[in-house]
Amino acid sequence: MRAVLERTGPGEVLSYGEVAAEAGFPGAARAVGNLLRGAVGLPWWRVVTASGRLVPGKETDHAERLRAEGVTVLDGRVADAPARRGRRPARRS
């Protein structure tokens, strides 16, 4: 999972489930969340829920980091949620 996160570039947004599936562990979205909770140096802000929701309690920081990379965030969600698209960069503003 770490390798998937490390190769996720600026402006690209993945869901927890997409990270797990690309790492070869489909259905292990919670494991991605657990990894990100304690990880240092991984781009945690590029991961959202399938509906595009940001990390609860870190919404402001999360939104600022994504916006700095050109991702549109509206009402605590990425405008182009992973569930509505294939893996590709999120919509840019």
Render pLDDT for 51-66 as a digit per residue (tens, 0 to 9): 999 999 999 999 999 9
Is residue 90, in this structure, part of any structural domain at all?
Answer: no
As a dihedral over the C-alpha atoms of residue 24, residue 25, residue 29, residue 31, rounded to 10 degrees, the angle is -110
Question: What's the distance, Cα to Cα, between the start and end of the chain in Å?
Answer: 29
Is residue 36, in this structure, part of any structural domain at all?
Answer: yes
pLDDT in tens, 34-57: 999 988 999 999 999 999 999 999
Contact status, residue 23 vs residue 1, Cβ threshold 8 Å = yes
Helix then strand count (H, E) for the chain reads: 4, 4
Q: What is the pTM of this model?
A: 0.85
Is residue 15, in this structure, part of any structural domain at all?
Answer: yes
Please tell me what DSSP assigns to residue 42: S
Rounded Cα–Cα distance for residues 85 and 65 (Å): 21
Residue 8's domain is classified under what CATH number?
A: 1.10.10.10
Q: What is the number of structural domains in the chain? A: 1
For residue 45, give its domain range. 2-84
Is residue 20, in this structure, part of any structural domain at all?
Answer: yes
Is residue 75, in this structure, part of any structural domain at all?
Answer: yes
